[in-house]
Amino acid sequence: TSQSTNNYLSINTINLNNQTFDIYMINEEPVGGFQISFSGVTITGVSGGLSDQNEFTLQFTDDMIVGVSFTGGSIPKGEGVLATVSFSNIQEELCIVEGQEETVVSDDQGLEIFFNLPDCYNAEDANCADECGVCDGPGYFECWDGELVCNLSDCSNQSSNNYLSIN
């Protein structure tokens, strides 16, 4: 829901190979629950992020994710990845759907918190995937032994923390 506010939701780190994207949140007050609807994609799962860290129960349908704490907990004010969404069947435009029936974020008392929502991600215009399929990602990392990997954790063990990002 858009209104004059410094609270934001955005679609980040779209990984076309793994078929995942992150929902990034900046919130000026604690969040007690959320429902976020999408168009242009079929949702196949949701997990992780601030939701898991704050013991939220996450559920999904083919076009919506829902997160709530059944223990009365909340996500403290701040910013970070709210959750990682798994998907299939991405269309040209991936959008967070506006509207009170579609996307709602509430405080720990159940009152709506107004959030600015992003423009739609346009796959045709963006063409933002790096070699690893991550939108605006760092590309391959070169391990100490010269191997190119998408995740530093995939490098074979070496005592040095040296790596090089190749774009």
User: What is the identity of the amino acid at 74?
Assistant: S
pLDDT in tens, 96-125: 998 877 899 999 899 999 998 888 887 654
Angle at 15 between CA 31 and CA 155, to 5 degrees: 105
Strands 104-106 and 33-39: antiparallel
Burial level of 161, CB count in 10 A (0-12/13-18/19+)? exposed
Q: How far apart are CA 67 and CA 19, in angstroms?
A: 20
Higher confidence at residue 153 or residue 75? Answer: 75
Beta-carbon contacts of 161 under 8 Å, excluding residues fewer than 6 positions away, are none
pLDDT in tens, 43-66: 999 999 999 999 999 999 999 999
pTM over 0.75: no
Reported as a pLDDT band with limits 50, 70 and 90, residue 90 is confident
